Amino acid sequence: MRTDVEYTDNLAILMEAKMAVLEPLSELAKQQATITQTGDAEILLSFLARKQPLMDRLAELQSELAIYTHDDPAARVWRSAEHRSACRSASERCQNLLAEIVLLEKQSLDEMSQRRDAMAAQLQDGRDGNLAAQAYQAAGALEASSLDLSSG
């Protein structure tokens, strides 16, 4: 671990950047949860397209932050106690936003899964109805084409 101020300045910058990505991502996740309930796939896909660049940037930031994960936080050198406190606050805000996003995404996924299962059940009911109708038609055709050889 480096013990210079630039090292922790960079950490603070990365945490602010992460928060700047998570905040709009959180808003999109909230909107997505509402859209998911309506079942409008076209709008949902547009939300997914808007989220992708944010997800890509978040992955980049996570990669850049990886070097700080094994540091001893007490050994970091900060410009001031205020800088340290601001970075800690940003980190906590990021954790809260991430937890909120994960929850919203899970809820949206559950909603989409329920809609998919309901649609699959409707399709299966339609197929079953078609098969039953075809069976009745086939039985009727067999009866109509039978030759009655009984004496009358």
- What are the boundaries of each domain within the chain? 5-107
pLDDT digits (tens, 9 = 90+) for 91-138: 999 999 999 999 998 988 887 777 767 766 676 666 666 666 666 666
What whole-number distance in Å separates Cα of residue 150 and Cα of residue 131? Answer: 32
> What pTM value is reported for the model?
0.71
DSSP annotation string for 3-70: -SHHHHHHHHHHHHHHHHHHHHHHHHHHHHHHHHHHT-HHHHHHHHHHHHHHHHHHHHHHHHHGGGTT
Mean pLDDT of 38-42: 76
pLDDT digits (tens, 9 = 90+) for 3-39: 789 999 999 999 999 999 999 999 999 988 888 777 7
